[in-house]
Amino acid sequence: MINQEEFFKKITSHAKEYGFVFQSSEIYDGLSAVYDYGQNGVELKNNIRAYWWKAMVQQHENIVGLDSAIFMHPTIWKASGHVDAFNDPLIDNKDSKKRYRADVLVEDHMAKIEDKIAKEVEKAAKRFGEAFDEQQFVATNARVLEYRQQVDSIRSRFFGSLEKNDLDDIKKLIEELGIVCPVSGSRNWTEVRQFNLMFSTQMGSTVEGASEIFLRPETAQGIFVNYLNVQKTGRMKIPFGIAQTGKAFRNEIVARQFIFRMREFEQMEMQFFVKPGEELEWFEYWKQERLRWHLSLGIPSAKYRFHDHDKLAHYANAAADIEFEFPFGFKELEGIHSRTDFDLGAHQKYSGKKLQYFDPELNENYVPYVVETSIGLDRMFLAVLSHAYAEEKLEDGSERVVLKLPAVLAPYKVAVLPLMKKDGLPEKAREIMDILKQDFMCHYEEKDAIGKRYRRHDAIGTPYCVTVDHQSLEDNTVTIRDRDSMLQERVAIDQLQGIIIAKIRK
């Protein structure tokens, strides 16, 4: 059994070795927390984006798309609260010179206490066997209650101090909890200070005439400032949604764990505009709808869980994460936020332009409330990749690495492989390739023994390999090999296209 850390290392090196993800600027020793997607990575990423777009836009008659610019008027970020409140509280360890997010240090500490509770429950479950009642145990066991009380009091003090921006008290809390630097092991901390996560640059040619603008830290604001354009030109009626995918930028301090936390990343966001007062119903609806989307990929539900927020962002009246069990534990994959009328109200105030919707049923104007779904494309890529990666021992004693990607997301759907590089097999295989490539990403390969070619396609997750052999020349049939079962069936070439479409749709 390998541990999760080793498993994660295997995934990152597999991603590089097979052309999925490369470190940005690698020949210049890399740029921290920025990554490039290689020939297979770009296909997987495009397919995830398309799968999301299809579910959100194509399959919802009341949701339309948008592609707004990355550069926007700087006042947008003042109105949205990002200039003043998009901060992380930072603390440095004076001995290791390492920088940490103070909230992450405190949350990790609370997670350790939660682990102790889980261990108590596990021990008790073993002791009591079938008769064990977990609910009763956690409600009455003295040790568990003490741990729970510790977590609750840390949480309320920490969030209280953060709310009041009392950074001195956050430092005091870190000291009182005896939190040490994971690198130096010391408690020699600096003061806590706030650090804004937005990247800025200059727009304009002369220093005097240039204005500071920001690289968007979320795609959502592009939707808000276009909401009336879309509503009016599309004659949209509430409730309706606007969806957008695109790059976002954050100067993350603790950027680690590969493509989990990046400085340049892509978001897939949808803002759903609703009647005030109906937002919490829609919030519940979108929580379930988004979870359904994840499960539709065939990834087991045990890999997902909801996490309701204790501390709400400045714009929200309810918020939940869909967490995924990454190799380093359950972490946020997607956020669902009930953003109230905060954003539209603020843009109305700062721009001086009315952003109201005329509701023909009520015969009145109002600023709609908004429920948002927001998922990181790169993070979804990591979730899919880490779940798909498997090492298998085969019956003949050999081993294979296989990416069991959902077929709809796989970079290549089909590999077309002539059994040999002679006897007219390559020509026949090329004919098949020319037909199939009209509908699918296909890969033609004739080099190396067939077994080796199967292994290469297992490693990049190609769900089907079509092999052309001597019988193909006689009766126009080929074998089609399933990546996961490795079983082969013989089918007529003229039915191949339909068979593959049906398999991918499954």
We find the least distance from the C-beta atom of residue 315 to ligand GAP, in angstroms, to be: 9
Q: Is 375 in the site for ligand GAP (CB under 6 A)?
A: yes
Does 101 bind ligand GAP (CB under 6 A)? Our answer is: no
45 interacts with ligand GAP by CB under 6 A: no
Least spacing, CB of residue 99 vs ligand GAP, in Å: 16
**Angle between the N-to-C axes of helices 39-53 and 377-388, in degrees from 0 to 180, rounded to the nearest 10:** 110
- CB 467, CB 491: distance < 8 Å: no
Going by C-alpha positions, the residue among 31, 5, 42 that lies closest to residue 460 is 42
Answer yes or no whether residue 284 interacts with ligand GAP by CB under 6 A.
no
Q: Contact with ligand GAP (CB under 6 A): which of 66, 105, 213, 262?
A: 262
Query: Cα 360 vs. chain centroid, distance in angstroms?
Result: 38
Does residue 265 bind ligand GAP (CB under 6 A)?
Answer: yes
Helices (H), 352-437: 377-388, 425-436
Residue 374 engages ligand GAP in binding (rule: CB under 6 A)? yes
Joined tokens for residue 324: 């995924």
Identify whether the C-beta of residue 215 lies closer than 8 Å to the C-beta of residue 249.
Answer: yes
| Residue 88 interacting with ligand GAP (CB under 6 A) | no
Task: Tell the smallest beta-carbon distance from residue 194 to ligand GAP (Å).
Answer: 17
- Residues 457-486 touching ligand GAP, rule: CB under 6 A, are none
Q: Among the candidate windows 40-48, 206-214, 370-378, 403-411, which touches ligand GAP by CB under 6 A?
A: 370-378
Shortest spacing between CB 501 and ligand GAP, in angstroms: 31
x/- mask, ligand GAP, residues 208-227, rule CB under 6 A, reads ----------x-x-------
Q: Which of 193, 196, 169, 173 is nearest to 89 (CA)?
A: 193
Q: How many residues bind ligand GAP (CB under 6 A)?
A: 19
Which of 334, 294, 341, 337 minimizes the C-alpha distance to 312? Answer: 337
Candidates 161, 267, 340, 477; binder of ligand GAP (CB under 6 A) is: 267
* Using rule CB under 6 A, residue 333 touches ligand GAP: yes
Q: What share of the chain is helix, strand, coil (3-state, %, to 5)?
A: 45, 25, 30
- Closest residue to bound ligand GAP by CB: 376
Shortest Cβ 250–ligand GAP spacing (Å): 5
Among 166, 252, 289, 359, binds ligand GAP (CB under 6 A): 252
Nearer to ligand GAP among residue 227 and residue 265 (C-beta): 265
* CB under 8 A, 24+ apart: contacts of 315-319: 315/80, 315/81, 315/339, 315/340, 315/342, 315/343, 316/340, 316/342, 317/279, 317/280, 318/279, 318/280, 318/283
Asked if 332 interacts with ligand GAP (CB under 6 A), we say yes
Contacts of 119 (CB under 8 A, 6+ apart): none
By beta-carbon proximity to ligand GAP, the closer residue of 327 and 418 is: 327
- Residue with the two structure tokens 């390969």: 445
Could you tell me the two tokens for 240? 């309706």
Residue with tokens 């949350």: 107
Q: Which is nearer to ligand GAP, 273 or 464 (CB)?
A: 273
Examine residue 271 and tell whether it contacts ligand GAP (CB under 6 A): no
379 counts as binding ligand GAP under rule CB under 6 A: yes
Tokens of 54: 């299809």
- Which residues contact ligand GAP (rule: CB under 6 A)? 218, 220, 250, 252, 261-262, 265, 267, 269, 332-335, 372, 374-376, 378-379
